[in-house]
A and B are shown apart, each in its own frame.
Chain A
Amino acid sequence: MIDTTQTEIELDHESRRLSVTKPEERFDVQGDMSDDERVEKAMVNFAKDFGRVAATYMEACIHCGACAHACPFYEVSGNPRHTPIWKLEPFKQAYKREAGPLAFLYKTLNFKPKVTVDELKEWQELLYDTCTMCGRCTLICPMSIDIATLVGTARHAMFHAGLVPHELYTVTEKAQKEGSPLGATPSVFEDRIEWMGDEHEVEMNVNEDQADVLVLMSSIEIQKYPESMAATAKILNHMGKSWTFRTDGYEATNFGMLSGNTGWQRDMSMKVISAAEKIGAKLVILPECGHAYQALRWQGANMYGKPLPFKVQHISEFLADAVDSGALKLKTVNKSVAFHDPCQVSRRGGATPAPRKVLEALGLDLKEAESGGNLNFCCGGGGGVITIHRADSLRHGIMANKFRQLDATGAEMMVTSCSNCRQNFDESGEELNWGKDMNSLLELVAENLVEEGKR
């Protein structure tokens, strides 16, 4: 664990996206360690979670380079260094030299030289700034290699070597110390719930001792899109659910996972798991946040060490089920719509049909974008990339492509179900004069509930 850091920089609350105030002051190396120690820690932590699956992927690459053509970053930069599998090169080398079945040969004959700290520093940009772990590269790979998972594993190494981009490190440290990467501490959370309750005249349930449903929020929602809280409450009240927010377990984002600190990832997941257990929740609803879905829905049980004693749903899945069962009746909105799939919920999460069901229930005419649905282009801001200022020009380039794809559908309205994607659309939209708004699926539903006796 790194105990000294040089990243005591304030958060930028004015900006449209989650980041720090002085990005130009860069401290991308954390802690006091010798170069050898950094490499050593990187290798130990890389190997720690390295199992059969990761080894298979390391072995299987045939260096065909196809993955470059699926990567939104390569698409914009045309830089061969942004080829997805190249982002793992030092770790592929380390695997072959230290861990693979032929390690004894590679080591004795020095076929694969030892990874150096300079290489790791050079690769920081590739592992953090230019990969959102969207997994589109897996689709094109003839060997079906899950590069995104390997990037996640490589980030474990980078974190423990103290080589995280400093904005991402700062928000992660904040999340670990304060319970939120964006300053949404428990008391801030409670204040904002109260504010939204008053503003929207909706009953808010906070810190109930018992409830069937625990609702989580991401700091992005709490701080930038607080209407999400009111919208969720309104829908759950409308359905007569027993639900609550808990100030001891509310933060859905997991910057431990994004930055590569498994210990912190576990701490962050355990907070919400414990809160859910305490109130006897049968269901935990995740907010409109992609990586949060990945963290709790697919990695939560593995952090907990046993199957979770409750069901986990992304809000879009919950809404789709409610529409399906007839528990939720919605007004018809006569508009055409384009939907941006958050990669962690759709392609890598499996909930692709859910938002489509909800859009259909709203009577919206869905215009699928080119390479849409599971084949969707990532917004370029996930995986912590949006926090990193160095990545701005690439991210905006990706967004320019994204805007083009969505505009080409000719749809009147744009919708997504990830607030991180949404803040990226808002920030880039302003930067690139898109002139359109990215709407939240959840808020759209909340605005169009059919009240009893009315139609």
Chain B
Amino acid sequence: MTLLDFARGPAMQIAIIIFVAGILWRLVGVWALRQKKDLSEARQTGAWVGGLKGLFVHAWPYKPFVPKVGAQYIIGYIIHLGLFIVLIFGTPHMLFFADIVGFTWWTLPGGVITAVAVITTLALFVALIKRLVNPVQRLISNFDDYATWFVTTAPFVTGLITNMNMWPDYETGLAIHLLSVWLLLIYFPFGKLMHSFWFVVSRYTTGSRFARRGGMA
């Protein structure tokens, strides 16, 4: 078995199993906890509307905070959108998924994807430097923050090298790229990449709790 066979075969299967089972374990582990009912008299009904609103209002900082954290949000959006665009609209990625789901879709030209990947990678480095330099972020960071950065950045870097055909051996290079993605999937349930789920749960929770009270959150 070549490294590429391994990456396309057992490695992928193991990664997907850990990814899915781990996510379920972690979500259910929290949702299974009891929660005492809030017996206070609600000021207004429609807490769930507030919960849904909460999902959107925290997508951009409130006005007085924009000068302080606006740039950080923009870097965050570049990383998240970049990840999404490259993953879904990169032709090789689409073809990879098409094999699994059985249909194809429109993709972006290779040059655009490369540009997006480069910008995203740069944004990831900016985020890392900020984490290392900013006293607040440096203090509150732990292993998970750096591990998460590494497993997110590695697929971009290996992907760019593959795309630019810069590996000494293309097949091995492609295998390394695939393995870096499987590493991301395997690490996903154990660290803060889980925020892809928690952001919905947490924002909804706060939004609905404060909707029944009034006030602001």
Contact = CB atoms under 8 A, between A and B. Distances in A.
Interface of A: 49-53, 55-57, 59-66, 68-70, 74, 80-81, 83, 85-86, 89, 100-102, 105, 111, 135, 138-146, 297-302, 304-308, 311-312, 346-352, 370-371, 374-375
A287 to B, nearest CB: 19
Contacts of A102: 26, 29, 190
A66 B61 CA distance: 10
Contacts of B213: 298, 348-350
A74 B192 CA distance: 25
Given A60-B195, A102-B26, A139 B216 contact: yes
A49 B190 CA distance: 25
B199 A142 contact: yes
B72 interface: yes
Contacts of A301: 38-41
Instruction: Tell me which of B26, B39, B136 has the highest count of chain A C-beta atoms within 10 A of its own C-beta.
Output: B136
Interface in B1-52: 25-26, 28-31, 33-36, 38-41, 43
B72 A83 contact: no
A297 B58 CA distance: 26
A140 B60 CA distance: 9
Interface string B195-215: 100110111011101100111
Contacts of B64: 370-371, 375
5 contacts: A51-B33, A53-B35, A63-B145, A101-B29, A347-B215
Size bin of chain B's contact surface:
35 or more
B139 interface: yes
Contacts of A56: 30, 198, 201-202, 205
Contacts of B43: 350
A239 B171 CA distance: 86
A101 B201 contact: no
Contact of A142 (B28, B38, B76): B76
Nearest to A138: B217
Nearest to B137: A65
Nearest to B216: A374
Contact of A145 (B33, B39, B72, B206): B206
B65 interface: yes
B140 A65 contact: yes
Which 4 pairs of residues, A with B, have the shortest CB-CB distance? A350-B214, A101-B29, A374-B216, A301-B39
A63 B203 CA distance: 16
Interface string B66-85: 00110011001000000000
B202 A140 contact: no
A69 B34 CA distance: 33
Contacts of A141: 58
Nearest to A348: B215
B104 interface: no
Contacts of B35: 51-53
Contact of A304 (B34, B38, B39, B135): B39
Interface in B91-150: 134-145
A297 B87 CA distance: 49
Given A80-B135, A102-B190, A140 B61 contact: yes
B201 A60 contact: yes
A397 to B, nearest CB: 18
A308 to B, nearest CB: 7
Given A59-B194, A347-B216, A306 B39 contact: yes
B136 A68 contact: yes
A284 to B, nearest CB: 12
A106 to B, nearest CB: 10
Contacts of A63: 137, 140-142, 144-145, 192
Contacts of A370: 64
Given A59-B30, A141-B58, A312-B41, 16 more contacts: A49-B36, A51-B36, A52-B35, A56-B30, A57-B205, A60-B195, A63-B137, A63-B142, A65-B134, A69-B68, A81-B139, A86-B139, A143-B199, A146-B206, A349-B213, A374-B215
Contact of B206 (A59, A81, A144, A302): A144
Contacts of B139: 80-81, 83, 86
Instruction: Tell me which of B65, B206, B207, B210 has the highest count of chain A C-beta atoms within 10 A of its own C-beta.
Output: B206
A246 B62 CA distance: 44
A142 B72 CA distance: 11
A52 B30 CA distance: 6
B69 A140 contact: yes
Contact of A80 (B36, B76, B136, B215): B136
B39 A105 contact: no
Contacts of A308: 40-41
A433 B174 CA distance: 70
Given A65-B136, A101-B26, A298-B40, A143 B216 contact: no
B187 to A, nearest CB: 12
Nearest to B206: A144
Nearest to B61: A140
A55 B33 contact: yes
Nearest to B144: A63
Contacts of B202: 56-57, 59-60, 143-145
Contacts of A49: 36
Contact of A302 (B40, B190, B216, B217): B40
A55 B210 CA distance: 18
Nearest to B28: A101
B90 interface: no
Contact of A52 (B31, B69, B134, B217): B31
A354 to B, nearest CB: 10
Contact of A66 (B72, B138, B205, B209): B72
Nearest to A307: B39
